[in-house]
Amino acid sequence: MTATKEHVTIKGNKDGLVFLFNDHCEFPDLLSELQYKLEKSHQQILSGPTIDVHIKLGERELDVQQEEEIKKLVGHHGNLLIQSIESTPKEQIEKNIHQDLKIMNGIVRSGQSIHEDAPILFMGDVNPGGMISSNGDIYVMGALRGLAHAGKNGNKDAIIAASYMRPTQLRIANIVSRSPDESANEGAYMEFAYLDEDHMQVGKISELHKVRPVALQF
């Protein structure tokens, strides 16, 4: 093995060993390097207690035969136990970006609540007594009159945006804010709420890019 880029990288973590396979090289090259590493350069890992192995293939997809070859090679060394062989196909990577924003519609009425781990784009109203919550951002295309809780798992970078903002209460991470008591408060259009040093701030949507240069926060 000369100074070419490595095809197989072996890393250790708390679960055992992670084999990272380069997804741009030819499969036989990969296989031979794996064999070389297991038998020559990384012999020290082959003695001792059983080790779990997770194989990450990158964007490469294996057919049954190729998978079998890898299993055979690794399994050949008694103390290595393959736990998983994962690949993340290209399309899926692109799809994830869209899937991560959960788009929903309807009306969240009094007594109803919705929660998603992903950021929510909600098309409809959230009425007083209703609750919408997410670990990420919340965007309401409609009137937000109820309670919205963004960054529920503690993400203080999350924001809450609404076409019409007149919430009973806003929560971002563990910070709670309620609307002013003046009943004359009419609510406002196209606003978003965010945390600035643990204080809830509200701004016009047009100012969002200043607080958040990247549109979506996960």
- Binding region for other proteins (CB under 8 A): 107, 109-112, 125, 127-130, 143, 145
Closer residue to other proteins (CB): 130 or 136: 130
Give min distance, CB of 145 to other proteins, in A. 7
**Least distance from other proteins to the Cβ atom of residue 122, Å:** 14
DSSP characters over the chain: --SSPPSEEEEEETTEEEEEEPSSS-HHHHHHHHHHIIIIITGGGGSSS-EEEEEE-TT----HHHHHHHHHHHHTSTTEEEEEEE---HHHHHHHHHHTSEEEES-B-TT-EEEESS-EEEES-B-TT-EEEESS-EEEEEEE-SEEEESTTS-TT--EEEEEE--SEEEETTEEEE--S-TT---EEEEEEEEETTEEEEEEGGGHHHH-SSS---
Nearer to other proteins, 4 or 183 (CB): 183
**Nearest-approach distance from CB 149 to other proteins, in angstroms:** 19
Task: Give the nearer residue to other proteins in terms of CB position, either 81 or 123.
Answer: 123
If the CB atoms of residues 91 and 182 are measured against other proteins, the closer one turns out to be 182
Give me the least distance between CB of 186 and other proteins, in Å please: 11
